[in-house]
């Protein structure tokens, strides 16, 4: 979808709202609900999808009025960006729209309120607009910070330049905002290794683990952004490469894996494009503490938040595999977690052995 | 009171200084102002005259702590020949009659003269003219404490060219202005609350206060009434017998008591086993004591009438409290007359809310007895007890609250806790009436607060929507090209429809 079409949809949505206001009908926005209850686990496709629920965001509802205002404000910001031919980031839009509304009421009191406080608020309405007009942020020309980095035997073409991700020495190739604009020229890898943590990524690069394994190593420094997820998905889909995800042994690591694999609750409408259903988990599990004889010095007591998060995972349909049920229950029983770094319990090189062990001997969770 | 007649007045005063409220120079100054203001109001409003009262306090001798107090009213005045006795003879009183007064027998005035005499040894100066009098009389008087009679130091008459009437009194006493200042101001303000028809102008050494007249409506003056038979004592009967020597018991009873006719008198005599036709002059002292006892015990009397009472009235209380307390809303009630031990009484109460009343953990209490503000001994007053025990939470009041409670008890006999006359005693009948009066007033407050809460909710709702109108109208105008002004106007109309009234209506209401 080109930006002109996106603009047409945005204007059409705005016109519907303006029409009901001018005709003195209560203005309401119909927006597919981006909630857990409206996130549907598609068993067959093995990914999260947006369900049929819609919310009605009504201006005359005191609880909704602020969000209504924010949505209309963002609608204007995006429409203006497209009309002016500029490509703002979501942070640009946050700053662009952030100002103080000063309202003097009929009683002479002055009220002041910021259009939004945190970027989370402006990000949320961007996502609402995406689902409401059924156009992706990338299609609107709105970008986000991309955290993704790649190293390995893969050559891409960007704006006419060929970039070989194996020739970055100790640095790495940074992924661009719109991964779909890249051409993946050549891949000579045997698998893709997605690493949760940047520190581990850098170690594997310096230790030339990727070249020994013929692997493409990718990190998004924690919770993955859309571009990184899309790139992983393309490698898996277009080059049939197996994808392994290496995370810490805690509920946050496990959820990050599930985001690469199945999609996220907030962006379930994007799973179709972003999820990599074949991704396999080679991060640490609760039973690995025994399995790999990790010294007590490296084992950390789980916090209340960890426990709460783990219980949530247990309820998610996409965690309903016997392996996950077993591991999460074990975690809840022992209340112990481990970071990837804990593998140094057997020397610094042990990380390499661990990864090979998990992949070669099929000790992953699918 | 009559027991003291034999004592030289100065001696009596020395012994009873505290009783009369002259404990120390601060209290004495406060008491002096209070007595003079109350006499001034009694001399005016009781006779249907709108009171104008000037009070001036000046420093005479700072070293010795001498101050002068001057008070002037536009009342009925004192007849020229009576002035020496009214001011200079202790216990000089008129015939026994009951009626709601601020002071009793003008006793306070004589106390001031005695106090002045004993502290500064200066006379009291009086100038007075009665209604339509051709002359103004001026006196300087002291009290001869040996003979308990007035000593006139100076006397003069002036032609009353402008038909002035009223009384002006000036005394020089030992008094502590700085210690009494706050109380005096408070006393005058509180007086203005129950008497908004009065104009009170006060000047002190470093303060002046002008409490203007808020209305020309005055409550009807109390009528003179007869005492209720349940309130008699032997002394009173003796005096009556002296004045009605030839009367029979029936005639004495039927002619001199409230609500007692020949029927009632006869029924009482039968109940008491007394001969109705006996001459009262033939009754012995013991007989009179027994008669008084029987009269107090008899339950067949009619209830005392309240004609001799003069409540301020709900309307005046509301007006006064609003003006002087700066309250946002005042709700007052005047209860129906009740009685205790043969004394009629009426309770009035007002609750004042918001405005300049500072929020506090318990209600600010303003107490009155026969329109006199009571400033001391609040802790032992029955009104404090009732106000504190009252279930305010049932009336939408949550403390701290900007709440003031005014309780006014008027009666031909106020049951004070002590001779200091600053607190009303815990009489069950009065306590009950105060509670009921508070309940009646608090019900009105509750309705008011409920209405205000609803309006506040609507205002909040209005504001929480209206504040976004311009932002939304602007953004939608940019996206769609529709008129920003028309969008804003429509949004406002949608909000008004939602809250069920226009912004103007809401503005008028809340």
Residue B96 has a pLDDT of 41
CA distance linking residue B290 with residue B313, whole number of Å: 40
What is the CATH number that goes with domain B314-447? 3.30.230.10
Statement: residue B338 has pLDDT above 90: no
Task: Among A21, A23, A113, A115, pick the best mutation site for testing chain B contact (most B Cβ within 10 A).
Answer: A21
Band (pLDDT 50/70/90 cuts) for residue B168 is very high
Q: What's the number of CA atoms in the CB half-sphere (13 Å) around residue B332? A: 23
Band (pLDDT 50/70/90 cuts) for residue B91 is low
3-state secondary structure of B337: coil
Domain boundaries, chain B: 2-211, 229-297, 314-447, 467-509
pLDDT tens by residue, A19-41: 999 999 989 998 888 888 888 88
3-state secondary structure of A246: strand
Statement: residue B262 has pLDDT above 70: yes
Q: Is A60 on the interface with B (CB under 8 A)?
A: yes
Statement: residue A348 has pLDDT above 90: no
Instruction: Return the CA Rg of chain A.
Output: 23
Task: Give the residue among A107, A26, A103 at the shortest CA–CA distance from B506.
Answer: A107
User: Which of A34 and B490 is assigned the larger pLDDT?
Assistant: B490
| pLDDT, mean over chain A | 91
| Ordered domains of chain A (ranges, CATH) | 3-140 (1.10.10.10), 149-360 (3.40.1360.10)
Residue B154 has a pLDDT of 94
Hey, which residues 19-38 in chain A have their CB within 8 Å of chain B?
A: 21-22, 24, 26-27
CA distance linking residue B308 with residue B289, whole number of Å: 27
pLDDT tens by residue, B415-469: 998 766 789 999 999 999 999 999 999 999 999 999 988 888 988 999 999 999 9
- H/E stretch holding B334: strand B329-334
How close A50 gets to chain B, by Cα (Å)? 28
Residue A354 has a pLDDT of 93
Residues of A in contact with B495 (CB under 8 A): 60
Q: Where are the beta strands (DSSP E) in B31-148?
A: 52-61, 66-72, 124-129, 135-144
**A95 assigned to active site:** yes
What is the CATH number that goes with domain B229-297? 1.10.8.50
Task: Among A7, A23, A72, pick the best mutation site for testing chain B contact (most B Cβ within 10 A).
Answer: A72
Evaluated on CA atoms A346, A350, A355, A358, the torsion sign reads negative
Task: Give the residue among A158, A129, A143, A102 at the shortest CA–CA distance from A14.
Answer: A129
Band (pLDDT 50/70/90 cuts) for residue B95 is very low
| pLDDT, mean over chain B | 88
Statement: residue B407 has pLDDT above 50: yes
CA distance linking residue A202 with residue B136, whole number of Å: 112
CA distance linking residue B35 with residue B124, whole number of Å: 14
B186 has which bridge partners?
none
Answer yes or no: are the C-beta atoms of A154 and A235 closer than 8 Å: yes
CA distance linking residue A135 with residue A234, whole number of Å: 20
Residue B243 has a pLDDT of 83
pLDDT tens by residue, A215-248: 999 999 989 998 999 999 999 999 999 999 999 9
Band (pLDDT 50/70/90 cuts) for residue A107 is confident
Residues of A in contact with B459 (CB under 8 A): 105, 107
Band (pLDDT 50/70/90 cuts) for residue B501 is confident
Hey, which residues 104-123 in chain A have their CB within 8 Å of chain B?
A: 105-107, 111, 113, 115
For domain B2-211, the CATH architecture is 2-Layer Sandwich (3.30)
Long-range pairs of A84-88 with CB within 8 A, sequence gap ≥ 24:
A86/A141, A87/A141, A87/A142, A87/A143, A88/A141, A88/A142, A88/A143
Buried b / exposed e along A209-230 (16+ C-beta atoms within 10 A): bbeebebbbbbbbeebbbbbbb
Closest chain B residue to A61 measured between Cα atoms? Answer: B465
Least reliable range by pLDDT among A10-14, A45-49, A202-206, B4-8 = B4-8
Band (pLDDT 50/70/90 cuts) for residue B5 is very low
Band (pLDDT 50/70/90 cuts) for residue B7 is low
Statement: residue B209 has pLDDT above 90: yes
**DSSP summary character for residue B401:** B
How close A107 gets to chain B, by Cα (Å)? 7
3-state secondary structure of A359: helix
Statement: residue B256 has pLDDT above 90: no
User: Which of A261 and B101 is assigned the larger pLDDT?
Assistant: A261
Statement: residue B227 has pLDDT above 80: yes
Residues of B in contact with A21 (CB under 8 A): 476, 487, 490-491, 494
Q: Where are the beta strands (DSSP E) in chain A?
A: 28-32, 39-42, 47-50, 54-58, 100-104, 110-114, 149-151, 154-158, 161-164, 173-174, 183-187, 191-195, 215-219, 243-246, 280-281, 299-301, 336-338
Residue B98 has a pLDDT of 56
Which among B464, B476, B486 is the nearest to A72, CB-wise?
A: B476
Whether B494 sits inside 8 A of A21 (CB atoms) is yes
Once rounded to an integer, what is the mean pLDDT over residues A102-122?
92
User: Which of A192 and B5 is assigned the larger pLDDT?
Assistant: A192
B507 has which bridge partners?
none
Band (pLDDT 50/70/90 cuts) for residue B304 is confident
Residue B198 has a pLDDT of 95
Answer yes or no: are the C-beta atoms of B475 and A73 closer than 8 Å: yes
Answer yes or no: are the C-beta atoms of B55 and B15 closer than 8 Å: no
Whether B478 sits inside 8 A of A80 (CB atoms) is yes
Catalytic member of A94, A95, A255, A257: A95
Residues of A in contact with B467 (CB under 8 A): 101, 103, 105, 111, 113
Q: List residues of B whose CB lies inside 8 A of any A CB.
A: 459, 461-468, 470-472, 474-476, 478-480, 482, 486-487, 490-491, 493-495, 497-498, 503-504, 506-507, 510
- Helix-strand-coil split of chain A, %, nearest 5: 45, 20, 35
Q: Tell me whether domains B2-211 and B314-447 share a fold.
A: no
pLDDT tens by residue, B363-386: 999 999 998 899 988 999 999 999
Once rounded to an integer, what is the mean pLDDT over residues B83-112?
64
């Amino acid at each position: 979808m080109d930006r002109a079409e996106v603009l047409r949809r945005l204007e059409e949505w705005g016109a519907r709202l303006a029409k009901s206001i001018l005709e003195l009908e209560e203005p309401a926005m119909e927006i597919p609900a981006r909630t857990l209850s409206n996130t549907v686990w598609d068993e067959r496709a093995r990914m999260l999808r947006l369900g049929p629920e819609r919310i009605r965001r009504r201006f005359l509802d005191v609880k909704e009025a602020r969000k209504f205002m924010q949505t209309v404000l963002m609608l204007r910001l995006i429409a203006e960006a497209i009309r002016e031919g500029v490509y703002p980031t979501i942070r640009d839009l946050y700053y662009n729209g952030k100002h103080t509304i000063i309202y003097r009421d009929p009683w002479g009191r002055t009220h002041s309120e910021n259009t939004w406080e945190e970027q989370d608020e402006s990000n949320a309405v961007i996502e609402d607009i995406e689902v409401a007009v059924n156009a992706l942020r990338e299609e609107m020309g709105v970008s986000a910070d991309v955290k993704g980095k790649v190293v390995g035997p893969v050559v891409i073409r960007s704006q006419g330049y060929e970039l070989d991700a194996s020739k970055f020495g100790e640095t790495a190739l940074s992924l661009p905002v719109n991964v779909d604009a890249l051409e993946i020229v050549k891949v000579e890898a045997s698998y893709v290794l997605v690493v949760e943590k940047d520190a581990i990524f850098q170690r594997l690069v310096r230790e030339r683990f990727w070249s020994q394994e013929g692997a493409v190593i990718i990190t998004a420094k924690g919770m993955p952004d859309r571009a990184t997820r899309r790139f992983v998905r393309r490698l898996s889909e277009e080059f049939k490469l197996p994808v392994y995800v290496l995370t810490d042994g805690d509920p946050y690591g496990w959820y990050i894996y599930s985001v690469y694999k199945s999609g996220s609750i907030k962006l379930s409408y994007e799973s179709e494009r972003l999820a990599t259903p074949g991704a396999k988990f080679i991060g640490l599990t609760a039973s690995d503490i025994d399995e790999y004889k990790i010294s007590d010095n490296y084992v950390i007591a789980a916090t209340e938040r960890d426990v709460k998060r783990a219980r949530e995972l247990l309820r998610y349909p996409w965690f309903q595999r016997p392996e996950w049920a077993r591991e999460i229950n074990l975690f809840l029983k022992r209340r112990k977690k481990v970071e990837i770094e804990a593998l140094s319990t057997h020397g610094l090189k042990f990380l390499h052995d661990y990864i090979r062990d998990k992949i070669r001997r099929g000790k992953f969770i699918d | 009171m009559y027991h003291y007649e034999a004592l030289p007045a100065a001696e009596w005063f020395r012994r009873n200084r505290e009783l009369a409220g002259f404990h120390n120079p601060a209290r004495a100054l406060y008491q002096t102002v209070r007595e003079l203001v109350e006499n001034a109001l009694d001399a005016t409003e009781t006779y249907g005259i709108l009171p104008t009262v000037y009070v001036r306090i000046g420093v005479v001798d700072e070293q010795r702590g001498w101050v002068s107090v001057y008070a002037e009213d536009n009342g009925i005045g004192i007849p020229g020949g009576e002035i020496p006795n009214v001011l200079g003879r202790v216990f000089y009183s008129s015939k026994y009659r009951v009626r709601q007064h601020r002071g009793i027998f003008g006793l306070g005035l004589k106390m001031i003269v005695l106090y002045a005499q004993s502290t500064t040894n200066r006379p009291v100066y009086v100038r007075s003219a009665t209604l339509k009098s051709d002359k103004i009389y001026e006196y300087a008087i002291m009290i001869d404490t040996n003979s308990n009679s007035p000593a006139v130091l100076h006397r003069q008459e002036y032609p009353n060219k402008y038909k002035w009437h009223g009384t002006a009194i000036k005394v020089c006493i030992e008094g502590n202005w700085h210690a009494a200042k706050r109380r005096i101001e408070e006393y005058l303000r509180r007086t203005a609350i129950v008497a908004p028809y009065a104009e009170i102008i006060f000047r002190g050494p470093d303060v002046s206060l002008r409490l203007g007249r808020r209305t020309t409506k005055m409550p009807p003056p109390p009528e003179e009434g007869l005492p209720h038979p349940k309130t008699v004592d032997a002394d009173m009967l003796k005096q009556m017998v002296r004045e009605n020597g030839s009367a029979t018991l029936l005639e004495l009873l039927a002619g001199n008591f409230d609500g007692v006719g020949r029927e009632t008198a006869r029924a009482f005599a039968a109940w008491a086993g007394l001969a109705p036709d006996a001459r009262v002059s033939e009754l012995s002292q013991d007989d009179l004591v027994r008669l008084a006892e029987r009269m107090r015990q008899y339950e067949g009397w009619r209830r005392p009438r309240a004609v001799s009472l003069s409540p301020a009235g709900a309307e005046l209380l509301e007006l006064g409290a609003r003006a002087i307390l700066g309250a946002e809303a005042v709700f007052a009630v005047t209860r129906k007359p009740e009685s205790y031990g043969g004394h009629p009484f009426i309770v009035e109460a007002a609750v004042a809310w918001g405005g300049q009343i500072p929020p506090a953990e318990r209600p600010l209490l303003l107490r009155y007895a026969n329109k006199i503000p009571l400033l001391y001994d609040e802790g032992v007053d029955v009104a404090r007890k009732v106000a504190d025990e009252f279930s305010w939470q049932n009336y939408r009041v949550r403390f701290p609250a900007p709440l003031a409670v005014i309780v006014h008890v008027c009666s031909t006999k106020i049951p004070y806790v002590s001779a200091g006359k600053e607190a009303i005693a815990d009489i069950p009948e009065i306590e009950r009436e105060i509670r009921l009066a508070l309940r009646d007033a608090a019900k009105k407050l509750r309705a008011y607060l409920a209405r205000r809460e609803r309006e506040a909710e609507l205002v909040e709702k209005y504001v929480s929507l209206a504040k976004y109108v311009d932002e939304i109208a602007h953004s939608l105008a940019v996206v769609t090209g529709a008129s920003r002004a028309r969008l804003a106007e429509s949004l406002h109309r949608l909000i008004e429809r939602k809250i069920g009234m226009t912004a103007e209506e809401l503005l008028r209401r809340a």
